[in-house]
Structure 1
């Protein structure tokens, strides 16, 4: 399988709303899996994520409130439906997510579902040893969240394969 080139989005810290975001870009891989059966697509996403060092943790939808994880990077494989999402917090950027897409969120990047199909569902995964806390943004806690984000280790591989360092500007 050829590794697709991702789209990238950058988000500055949202000090007003307390979202740290990240100097690392969000990676958006379009149509990674072109399989019509949702259950088979979910299984294939889980196998792919596991193979590249991102153990799958759950199957669920995207929360409809802005939140972030300051203690973990997150990979989301959309296996069913579509959603209009917002990245970067309440003042962020809207985009559409479709079955077959993979989203890679650096620690600290806000995300929320604004509108989704009733059957919209994803596989979520995190690098080993990284446990996500759900945080909603608090301007009084922004500095502490930014400190936690800065200390999250970078995984070696992208969840879809290939080295992650060049994509996140950390060439080794």
Structure 2
């Protein structure tokens, strides 16, 4: 079930190219704090169904990698289904955020993310907009300029992964 999400619970930040990680200076990363109230039983299923109902599919269940990485061919959403973690967004000089159960991170193509430490029970459900296939990049030599071209071609998703057609995402993400 969804809780009401006042605007002050939505963090949106533009993360620019740092010379190693392309990040995304056009679309802000969105962090929805405490957005989803989850049941004790099978919370991941609830998040998967929510994302899928808004055309974000290809879901998976796991943690967040403990290495800086990004996707140049797809946007990504991560919904925290248990535990808590410290996540760095934007590469080694990026900001660090604490996330916990019920939080959702909408990551534009190109934005680096890394798990800096988490509780033993930390889990997320990840998904991608329908029709987008993700790749893996680590800020290594030779990735650019191809990944920059890829990022520029990634289309906007049709809906906000949490709120659907009329969510905050639709006001904050546009080209």
TM-score normalised to the size of structure 2? Answer: 0.88
Q: In 2, Cα distance between the equivalents of 1:156 and 1:132?
A: 17
Following superposition, which runs of at least 4 residues in structure 1 exceed 3 angstroms of deviation?
162-165
Q: Structure 2: 5+ residue runs without aligned partners? A: none
Q: In 2, Cα distance between the equivalents of 1:24 and 1:70?
A: 13
| Aligned equivalent of 2:109 | 107
* Residue 11 of structure 1: how far off its partner (Å): 0.7
- Preserved CA contact (<8 Å) 1:3 1:162: no
- Preserved CA contact (<8 Å) 2:38 2:46: no
Q: CA-to-partner distance for each residue in 1:101-127, whole Å, 9 max, x for gaps?
A: 010000000000001011100000001
Give matches, 1:1-172, under 5 Å: 4=5, 5=7, 6-15=10-19, 18-22=20-24, 23-35=26-38, 37=40, 39-163=41-165, 164-170=169-175
Q: In 2, Cα distance between the equivalents of 1:3 and 1:148?
A: 35
- Preserved CA contact (<8 Å) 1:72 1:131: yes
Q: CA RMSD in A?
A: 1.7
- In the alignment of these two chains, the number of paired residues is 167
Q: CA-to-partner distance for each residue in 1:129-157, whole Å, 9 max, x for gaps?
A: 21111110025433221110010011111
SS in 1 for 2:50: helix
Q: Structure 1: 5+ residue runs without aligned partners? A: none
SS in 1 for 2:51: helix
